[in-house]
Structure 1
Amino acid sequence: MTVVRGWPSLTVALNDRTSPARSFIQERFGRWQDLQARYREAVGPLAVPGGQANAGTIGCAFDWMVRFMVHPRPDLRLALIGVRIPLVRQAVHELARMLGYPDRDGSGGVGTAQFSGPVAGSEADHQLLARACWALALLTDLYRVGPTPGSPLMALAPRSITAEKLLDLASPAAVEELRALRASAERVLLPALAARRGAWALGPTFAGSSVMNADADLIAAGLLLELKTGLGSKRRDGTRRSSLEAPIIMQLLGYVLLDFSDEFAINAVGVYNARYAHLATWCLSELLAELAGRPVDVKEERAAFHDLLASGSA
């Protein structure tokens, strides 16, 4: 199948109301009001309030934290892609060795992205791991959005960066918030994933990702899972509530559609909001039928989405 390049990332496309990709998903699977109502009713109160740490970095750091919770040495290449200075790359490899990665020919291992799970997670000290995840999140942002004014990374002299200096970027407030988010995941998320035996993937990309850049958080034996740390909206009394927003639904569907070859055999999708210690999962075929208002042939929908991308009408 030949596909024309030139599309924005999936996230960007779904945030653009004029995007044909967004229209494709919304027109075919836009009946999500009942799903959203059920989600709101099921979610409990806020369990982990926000703190002084940057919310965006916390979200990315928690993604890294979960990867280490489900595998002892997750793939670190996402944090290395945006790094161009050799000494900084060396510091990341040094950090990897501190976390138990093997040293391969002096270069350091970058870890595993796909494996047969579930397996035991990292045995690294929890505080060390939280600080490391914060550093990996900052490095990931460097790749995703480029050098950002105000980023703690920008305050470091590139030629003097070491693993210890990367670890020192995490404030006590950031470490404490990640500790609380980890505790909720250990209580709610990990037990739910423990029964999912089969092929797992961390930060998976899809056949369609070469055209429309997209990488999900986690696939556990057919369950495509998005990790969220959003605080939710405020009620009139000042308390917070979580909601299943349309962009999140469309994002999950976008990942499913971009898996053109059914490489990951996705049969369920879900959202885990760590701040609410709430996990919601849905059988894919049942969810698609509800959102479409009719039985859905996933293979046909993927082919139609592929044809849309192949048209080059970004």
Structure 2
Amino acid sequence: MPRRSPLPPTGAFFTLPHGSLVHLDLTTRAWTPEWLRVSDERDLVPYRELQAAVDALHGPLAQRQVAEVMTNVPGCRLRWAAPPQAKPTTLPPPLPRPTAPEYGSLTGYLRGTPEARHAIRTALTRQAHPAPAPMLAPPLGANPGLVGTAFDYAFRFLLEGLNPGLVAVRGGLIARRAALDLERDRTLAVVHAAEETLQEVALGRPFELRHAHAAVLLASYEVVVRTGRFADLAGVVPREAAQDVLALIHAVPQGIFQAQSQLVLNPHFAAAGRFGGADADVLLDDLLIEVKATRHLQLEGAYLQQLTGYLILDRMGGTVGSALPIRRLGVYYARHGVLQVLPVKDLYRPGLLPQLVSWFDDSLPTA
């Protein structure tokens, strides 16, 4: 059966500058969730500006007040009538809502919930692999997981150095949490020293082997945090791992990673607790980037699943510290120095991204 319109029959109905139709209940001051009715990505900023202006009004809302505030959002129109019915959905029914997160992370949830993966696949359009390119930094035989985590650290400090003054949020080092499992004072001192070394790169110094060594050291402590194991390897830096990280950094095309307005390192999401947690890599302006240090230059379905999960979290509650909604998703293939950018407006079948966010909103625990 077609889904009934999610908007009630009374209240204020705003047509945003690019055609999205949203609703405000004057009695409860409740707005339509943006993922549900903002059909054009360009309407996200005007919608949030409209919400902020109306929410700043005190006392009971009157139609006259709402109409006056709306004039401050160029291109926005207001009417007091019911909107058209929503398009029928082709997504599967939502799952029974659990009382608490069941998997501890977005990655775990997607891995353990085939219905969620099916819902995302239904909404996605077909995407091409990036164009062929030579491998600039072949693997040198070190543990791939250790190298990947170390490169994440090195890459973040490098981006900070490329974008002085534009770092909106810089998350704390996960490696520091190893002090809860290992000898506290020594762990904190070693992690702090490695961070100080990498901070030189954030201040614009050229990336050298000693910086790669520091990144691998941090990664070795993060492995302990994430697995609860390998304590005997914390602080151990295989030479081939440091050399691999150095080669990966030298392969970075620095010009494409210079932001215009903001850089969020290791971005966090206000709604991440509904999955149990979520760790993204980099938000550059409105481009969310997932970094992959794989030898394969292929757009895997798992990458799109993960990026879609982050996008859903952004639509549910925003990205902490970001002034922009996510409008582009990207995969950086670090061994090839290739960044593949996927505009959100082209990535999903028409009308299905709002329904996909609603599917997750209905299927996840509320807290």
**Under TM normalisation by the shorter chain, which class is it?**
0.7 to 0.9
CA contact (8 A) 2:154 2:198 kept: no
- 2:157·2:202 contact (CA, 8 Å) conserved in 1? no
Cα 1:125–1:268 change in 2 (3 A) is closer
- Larger Rg computed on CA atoms: 2
The reply to whether residue 83 of structure 1 matches residue 179 of structure 2 is yes
- 1:125–1:269: structure 2 CA closer, same or farther, 3 Å change rule? closer
Is 1:248 aligned with 2:303? yes
Map residues 19-168 of structure 1 onto 2, 5 A cutoff.
19-29=114-124, 31-32=125-126, 35=127, 38-40=128-130, 42-72=131-161, 75-84=171-180, 85-87=183-185, 88-100=187-199, 121-123=203-205, 126-148=208-230, 152-153=233-234, 166=235
Distance 1:224 1:3, change over 3 A: farther
How is 1:137-216 mapped onto 2 (pairs within 5 angstroms)? Answer: 137-148=219-230, 152-153=233-234, 166=235, 169-185=236-252, 188=253, 190-194=254-258, 196-212=259-275, 213-216=277-280
SS at match of 2:271: helix
- 1:297, CA displacement in angstroms? 5.1
d(CA) in 2 for partners of 1:266, 1:56: 28
Tell me the secondary structure at the aligned position of residue 251 of structure 2. helix
> CA contact under 8 A between 2:123 and 2:352: conserved in structure 1?
no
Distance 2:137 2:279 in 1: 26
User: Where does residue 239 of structure 1 map in the other structure?
Assistant: none
- 1:106 maps to what in 2? none
1:121-158 deviation digits (Å, cap 9, x = unpaired): 55276222101100111111112122137x622xxxxx
- Distance, in Å, in 1 between the alignment partners of 2:294 and 2:199 is 31
Is the 2:288–2:328 contact (alpha carbons within 8 Å) kept by the matching residues of 1? yes
The alignment covers a number of residue pairs equal to 255
The gaps in structure 1 that reach 5 residues or longer are 102-118, 154-165, 233-241
**Structure 1 residue 302 displacement after superposition:** 2.6
Q: Give identity over the alignment, percent.
A: 26
Q: 1:280 offset after TM fit, Å?
A: 0.5
> Aligned partners of 1:284, 1:60: CA distance in 2, in Å?
27
Write the distance in 2 (CA, Å) between the matches of 1:277 and 1:61.
Answer: 17
Alpha-carbon distance between aligned partners in 2 of 1:83 and 1:13, rounded to the nearest angstrom: 28
CA separation of 1:76 and 1:124: change in aligned 2, threshold 3 A: farther
Aligned partner (choices 111, 131, 139) of residue 15 of structure 1: 111
SS in 1 for 2:129: helix
Q: CA–CA distance in 2 between the matches of 1:3 and 1:220?
A: 34
Match of residue 279 from structure 1? 339
Query: In 2 relative to 1, CA 122–86 (structure 1 residues): closer, same or farther, beyond 3 Å?
Result: farther
How far apart, CA to CA, are the structure 2 residues paired with 1:257 and 1:182?
A: 30
* Aligned-residue offset at 1:11: 1.3
Partner AA of 1:71 in structure 2: E
SS in 2 for 1:307: helix
Partner of residue 362, structure 2: 307
Distance in 2 separating the partners of 1:96 and 1:311: 36
Aligned to 2:102, the other structure's residue is in SS state coil
SS of 2:330 mapped into structure 1: strand
Contact kept, 8 Å, 2:274 with 2:366, in 1: the verdict is no
Asked if 1:261 corresponds to 2:317, the answer is: yes
TM-score when normalising by structure 1: 0.72
CA contact (8 A) 1:3 1:211 kept: no
Residues 121 and 249 of structure 1: CA distance in aligned 2, closer, same or farther (over 3 Å): farther
The amino acid that maps onto 2:191 is: V
1:40-75 deviation line (CA, Å, top 9, x unaligned): 5x1313222111211111111111111110125954
- Please give the secondary structure, in 1, of the residue aligned with 2:141: coil
Q: Is the 8 A contact 2:171 2:267 kept in 1?
A: no
